Structure 1
Amino acid sequence: MTDEIYAKDAYVKTFKGKVTSLEGNGIILDKTAFHPRGGGLESDTGEIISEGNHYRVLEVKRVDGKIIHVLDRIEGLAINAEVEGVIDWERRYRMMRLHTASHIIASIAYTKYNALITGGNITPEYAKDDFDLENKDLLPKIVEEANQIANKSIPVKVYFLSRSEAMKIPGVVKLAEKMPPDVQVWRIVEIEGVDLQADGGPHVANTKEIGTIEIIKVENRGKGKKRLYYTVKP
């Protein structure tokens, strides 16, 4: 199993590891700070460096529990090769800001309007979330409140709980039609006094880092289906 560095410290930009397996045009490492695609987030990209050779990390994905780093080429790499991983930090950090913003928005939608997220995706440029809301005019109000919360400089904490303890928390899973994770230890992301969710992705350490959440557009996708596109600005 790969040690998932990003799950414990989202601010690790470089790391050293070892190749444990070659998988087609990708490699598996004993540890990684690259976040694989999942949980609505696109994957990290960056570089793998080994013996002076630079390999571009095009995509990172989880397949059958294995984290595969898809490279532009694998010639020169072998099992047990020592490598350095370098995260494309600008890309990662924007997704961290958007990800934490999405948690604040989801929390307001849930606590005030009992609305769950029915789908979504986060890219470095923008995020989109679908809500089971009847009135799309509520979304600008939610974003306005989310900005007020972000500006309060609230710490964002990451910790781990047993499944039984996590299941006692109301609203710990805010995705509609998603079963609670079938694992015994859950990773919890807590925005103090605002939100607490089971979540596997990288976040900023303080809401002040988000910047300003700006709406790109709001769409009516049908009865009880509203989509919000948004980005973050410094």
Structure 2
Amino acid sequence: MSTDENADSQTDQIYLRDAFQTSAQATIVAVRDDAVALDRTVFYATGGGQPHDTGTLADGSGNEWQVLNVRKEGDLIWHWVDREPPSVGTAVAGSIDWGRRLQLMRTHTALHILCGVIWNEWGVLVTGGNMEPLSARMDFEFGPLPEGFAVRVTELVNSEIAADRPIEVSFLDRGAALADPELIRTKVNLIPPSVTNIRVVDIVGLDRQADGGTHVASTGAVGRFEITKTESKGKGNKRVRMVLHDA
């Protein structure tokens, strides 16, 4: 059962502007069953192939809740907790598990490097993907893979990591963003029509894409890239599985 909430409530997604902020003060604006919505949050909500953050919420009386799941529904970010949640209006401090977040940031950036390398080398679009901390898969619109594909891609990706390219985040009006075909690297445009201000992640000199995920500040922070397997997922769809190692 949900408590009453202000119809104008929305959650400020701090991580869209600053992926390195690990904690923030917030106020609970809605409660339902074992989840709370906050007016602002550093917790990434599952989306775009990137899993949610975990961490804690704590009030001023020494009570603490483990955050187990985070989802975006409408304008609110919901945080599922491990026991009966605090009430609407409670001030809490939200803190993410930074070790997990950093691994996901490294992984997400590695996928953008992979995408950029494949696009620049073969002009092939992404058809899907998913990630966990330090491991991921990405699907591409390939027919038969080129000879020596895994070796060549590994060499190119690790070269871009070694180049330590800076990563910049900006925001564009939807019309301007969608007018640039280079910004949408997926075969299907996954940006909801309701999103009018589109976030752009730019690995300077390599890859520039519309993206809502969290990333490291430069490619040098990713670590060493390794392809563990390539698979055929049907005609025109090939899967690349990868892991990251500490440099």
Q: TM-score range by the shorter chain?
A: over 0.9
| Count of matched residue pairs | 233
AA in 1 matched with 2:206: V
Q: 1:62 is matched with which residue? A: 72
Question: 1 CA distance for matches of 2:207 and 2:114?
Answer: 10
Matched, 1:151 2:162: yes
Per-residue deviation at 1:39?
0.5
1:171 aligned counterpart, secondary structure: helix
**Which deviations, in whole Å up to 9, do the C-alpha atoms of 1:159-186 show, x marking residues without a partner?**
1111122123232011112255422211
Aligned 8 A contact 1:57 1:72 in 2: yes
Q: 1:9 is matched with which residue? A: 18
CA shift in 2, pair 1:161/1:57, >3 Å: same
Percent identity over paired residues: 36
Aligned 8 A contact 1:173 1:180 in 2: no
Of residues 103, 115, 119, the one that matches 2:124 is: 115
Aligned-pair RMSD on alpha carbons? 1.4
Matches within 5 A, 1:196-215: 196-215=208-227
AA in 1 matched with 2:202: E
1:147 aligned counterpart, secondary structure: helix
Most deviating of 65-74 and 179-188: 179-188
**Which deviations, in whole Å up to 9, do the C-alpha atoms of 1:38-95 show, x marking residues without a partner?**
00101111111112111110010112332110111134x1111010111011111011
Aligned 8 A contact 1:159 1:188 in 2: yes
Q: TM-score if structure 2 supplies the norm length?
A: 0.90
Moved >4 Å (runs of 4+): none
Most deviating of 50-59 and 175-184: 175-184
Matched, 1:26 2:38: no
CA shift in 2, pair 1:123/1:227, >3 Å: same
Matches within 5 A, 1:187-226: 187-226=199-238
Aligned 8 A contact 1:23 1:68 in 2: no
Q: TM-score if structure 1 supplies the norm length?
A: 0.95
AA in 1 matched with 2:64: H
Most deviating of 81-90 and 223-232: 223-232
Matches within 5 A, 1:156-171: 156-171=167-182
Q: 2:45 is matched with which residue? A: 36
Question: 2 CA distance for matches of 1:180 and 1:138?
Answer: 30
